[in-house]
Amino acid sequence: AQSVSQHNHHVILSEAASLELGCNYSYGGTVNLFWYVQYPGQHLQLLLKYFSGDPLVKGIKGFEAEFIKSKFSFNLRKPSVQWSDTAEYFCAVNTGGFKTIFGAGTRLFVKA
């Protein structure tokens, strides 16, 4: 069965620290990959997505993610986090149909 694994459930960083959130999926075919973010009290919203082409994808608010096909990974990065990045982050995979599989989420807390 297809699955998505997010390695860290909780991450605590100080402002200006670098961030990397791990995401691995289990599916051998073509995938569409997403990172969604849920800020406290707000909707889930799309942070960035990968369909094809350049495996390094840039999203909103300075986030980026790199698709490494050989590792089945799509890790999310940001060079310098801010207090406003405190949120829950979800990695998600779509294999071309109408279903998308979500990871369990990573709660990020950034200390001011």
Residues that bind other proteins (CB under 8 A): 4, 6, 9, 32, 34, 36, 42-46, 49, 51, 90, 94, 96, 98-100, 102-105
Minimal CA–CA distance to 99: which of 34, 48, 39, 44? 34
Q: Based on CB atoms, which residue is closest to other proteins, 17 or 44? A: 44
Long-range CB pairs of 51-60, under 8 A, 24+ apart, other chains included: 59/35
Least distance to other proteins from the beta carbon of 15, Å?
25
Q: Which is nearer to other proteins, 29 or 98 (CB)?
A: 98
Smallest distance, other proteins to C-beta of residue 6, A: 8
Q: Of the two residues 48 and 81, which places its CB atom closer to other proteins in the complex?
A: 48
How far apart are CB 86 and other proteins at their closest, in Å?
16
Task: Please name which of 38, 45, 33, 17 lies closest in space to residue 87, comparing C-alpha atoms.
Answer: 38
Query: How far apart are alpha carbons 104 and 25 in whole angstroms?
Result: 12
Find tokens 């109408």 and name the residue. 98
Helix, strand counts (H, E) of the chain: 0, 12
Q: Least separation, in Å, of the C-beta of 79 and other proteins?
A: 25
